[in-house]
Amino acid sequence: MRMLVFGHGYSAGFLTPLLRRRGWQVTGTTRGDPDRVARTGAVPAIWPGEEPRLRDEIATADAILVSVAPDAGGDPVLAAFRDDLARARPRWLGYLSTTGVYGDRGGGWVDETSVLDGSGPRGQARIRAETDWQALAEQAGLPLHIFRLAGIYGPGRGPFEKIRNGTVRRIIKPGQVFSRIHAEDIARVLLASIDRPAPGTAYNVCDDDPAPPQDVLAHAADLLGLPPPPEVAFEDAQMTPMARSFYADSKRVSNRRIKQDLGVVLRHPDYRSGLAAILAAEAESEGASPHGLCPAPVHDRRHD
């Protein structure tokens, strides 16, 4: 079996080893870091740059995963390979979107049937990309599955380093709630979908415990045996425009469908489990106690 991944970044790096254990061959595109892709067990392909090779890969792929964000011109994969994809006959096609397509719900719940009302240019661009992929799938008979990912974290993407360095603040915006997902569980959801294809279905990919961001940082500090980072009001916080835009949306995302339809049992059903696992894994690899670890900052937004 052959998998082609457009945008073989952080999330795909967790799926590839699972596929390789099953005997799959995985090819993953990268803009210029083939060694990183190769370390996961995938065969790297430079894109832009190796378009003829990728057209051949599209034609022979049993599964295709798209993990590339839209840009000002729309979805880059569709712009470059729409005709090739229309002729392809994969058994499974996955598109990684984000829960940002739901916009701000004032802390309320959303599921896959909720109206898409993404706020800001990124949310609107994701909605257009989903629509474009759905149109191609309907036209060409492609087995499209859409995965709306919550904020991604995992090994190398935790808050511990900034907490130990004292460079992080707990930003307080009353009522603010985010959903999250550990990268290992993203891979488990994708693998379950490959095993149980349901073309035309969208899935929310998140854990069981939407939580305020300040609670996550406080718990991470407690795991390190350190006091919680100081609080700062959202209005007074110094943030980049992109970081500030993350706080425009507040919602709780339901993951019922991945459990009921795909039979997924999350390895990390909440951030407490996920953060503890990051520290334990780093301690084992470093031969140190968990309190001596300094993983990299949390990536509290979407996928690669």
Contact 133, 68 (CB under 8 A): no
Total length of the chain? 304
Angle, vertex CA 264, rays to CA 75 and CA 159, nearest 5: 65
pLDDT at 85: 98
Question: What per-residue confidence (pLDDT) applies to 119?
Answer: 79
Strand partners, 204: 148
Q: What pLDDT was estimated at residue 286?
A: 73
The predicted model scores a pTM of 0.93
Provide the residue ranges of all domains of the chain, joining segments of one domain with +: 2-151+182-205, 155-179+209-252+269-292
Map the chain to HEC letters.
CEEEEECCCCCHHHHHHHHHHCCCEEEEEECCCHHHHHHCCCEEEECCCCHHHHHHHHHHCCEEEECCCCECCECHHHHHHHHHHHHCCCCEEEEEEEHHHHCCCCCCEECCCCCCCCCHHHHHHHHHHHHHHHHHHHHHCCCEEEEEECEEEECCECCHHHHHHCCCCEEECCCCCECEEEHHHHHHHHHHHHHCCCCCCEEEECCCCCECHHHHHHHHHHHCCCCCCCEEEHHHCCCCHHHHHHCCCCCEECCHHHHHCCCCCCCCCCHHHHHHHHHHHHHHHHCCCHHHCCCCCCCCCCCC
Q: Where does 2-151+182-205 sit in CATH, by number?
A: 3.40.50.720
Cα 253 versus chain centre, distance: 14
- Extract the residue ranges of the chain whose pLDDT is less than 50: 288-304
pLDDT 10s digits, 111-166: 999 999 997 899 999 999 999 999 999 999 999 999 999 999 999 898 998 999 99
Q: Which two tokens stand for residue 37?
A: 């892709």
Which pLDDT value is given to residue 285?
76
Q: Which of 152, 146, 147 is nearest to 178 (CA)?
A: 152
Q: What is the pLDDT of residue 287?
A: 64
Structure tokens, 47 = 């894109």
* Structure tokens belonging to residue 117: 């009302």
Q: Looking at residue 301, what is its pLDDT?
A: 37
